[in-house]
Chains A and B, each alone.
Chain A
């Protein structure tokens, strides 16, 4: 628990506030000092901590995988190459079992999502106070270290996937074909067009929303529980031990959750894009 006279509510609030850069109420540009100030900044502000961690983790991913790729040999693979190949093969198998058309983007896209989201989620296992407290010591007021607990991050990825869904839908089915799919399914009659459109439109919109919010919700809730458990550490020896046990149990469970969520995001992306490529009537 952070030092000083902070209340429990302050502590939780502090953990849930991003380091946001934008236009302050007085007109100057700078970091928001509180969640309210960050909210007042409107759309043209940026969560520096989310971006920094997400880019940093992305660079870790590309660095190691690029290293393995650059030294890739058809001979006996080394440890790193072996590990990377294991992931490549896993993603490749998953992609080929779902996605049957020819598209060189899908598998690398799925691998980037899987590994990157996994790394972002993995930050959840770092004890909740370490990095934010370190940031405070270094003079940075707020620090949210799990990018996937920021809806901006998860929704940005989901919307990028959504853009790909729209692009490939139009590309593979044609604009007319895509419109037909939106209006003449599931009831193929002219009178049912409004009903069809509502149904299909909702299911289309639900794709990015469910994709982004599922990841956000899971990680946000997981983070919240870690924060609540961390609160126990300030409540005496008995609570400290109990909290320690709880944290360990939740962390072990969370290892499963973060992997699963990364995998779900990747697989659903493949599934949605496979649907976008499907041209035959059904």
Chain B
């Protein structure tokens, strides 16, 4: 083991390798690693934000769902009352229509009755006279008894 010019050779070699490493190896790796670190940090931040957004979206969805349910039940309520109202209206109308039909029928009956009465009244004199003629076997002068017949007819 003797010291010789290997000392110088190795020193120069050493300096060259260190220079090469400093110039062409370390910076690229350092940059790549730093960039990846930043990318990962950004990714984690983004995922955290997404988490928060998701949570707020869930809350939003819940409240909107509740609002929608409320609205739906309001609409249903409204529809039910409207339906009730319509039914009531329909019932009223039907009742009125029924009443009208009944009234009309009654009026017609009255009319018919009056007409029948009129006819009866018109016929009664003749009938009475015919009846009386049968009873008395004789003609009755209708004009003689007109006052009495009219009175009778009006009593019918």
On A, residues with C-beta under 8 Å from B are: 16, 18, 20, 22, 38-39, 41-47, 50-51, 54-55, 58, 61-62, 65-66, 68-70, 72-75, 77, 81, 84-85, 88-89, 92, 104-105, 107-109, 111-112, 116, 147, 150-153, 155-157, 159-160
Contact = CB atoms under 8 A, between A and B. Distances in A.
Given A69-B28, A70-B28, A89-B33, A50 B20 contact: no
Contact of B33 (A18, A88, A112): A88
Contacts of B26: 69, 88, 104, 107-108, 111
A66 B24 contact: yes
Contacts of B30: 88, 92
B32 A51 contact: no
Q: Which 9 A-B pairs have the closest CB atoms?
A: A156-B10, A74-B35, A152-B6, A72-B32, A108-B22, A69-B28, A108-B26, A47-B6, A108-B21
B22 A62 contact: no
A157 B25 contact: no
A65 B21 contact: yes
The DSSP consensus for interface residues of chain A is: helix
Nearest to A73: B32
B2 A50 contact: no
A62 B61 CA distance: 59
A39 B10 CA distance: 19
Contact of A44 (B4, B14, B15, B21): B4
9 contacts: A51-B9, A54-B10, A77-B36, A81-B32, A107-B26, A111-B25, A112-B18, A155-B3, A156-B11
B1 A151 contact: yes
B37 to A, nearest CB: 9
B5 to A, nearest CB: 5
A85 B63 CA distance: 50
Contacts of A69: 24-29
Contacts of A74: 31-33, 35-36, 39
B21 A112 contact: yes
A45 B31 CA distance: 43
A140 to B, nearest CB: 17
A156 B25 contact: no
Nearest to A107: B26
Contacts of A65: 21, 25, 29
B8 A108 contact: no
Given A74-B39, A88-B26, A109-B22, A45 B7 contact: no
A39 B29 CA distance: 44
Contacts of A58: 13, 17
Interface in B32-84: 32-33, 35-36, 39
B3 A152 contact: yes
B29 A46 contact: no
Contact of B3 (A68, A108, A151): A151
A10 to B, nearest CB: 18
Nearest to B20: A62
A132 to B, nearest CB: 17
**Which of the listed residues B9, B10, B13 has the most CB atoms from chain A within 10 Å of its own CB?**
B10
A147 B3 CA distance: 14
B11 A108 contact: no
B7 A75 contact: no
Contacts of B17: 58, 61-62, 112, 116
A88 B6 contact: no
Contact of A85 (B14, B18, B20, B29): B29
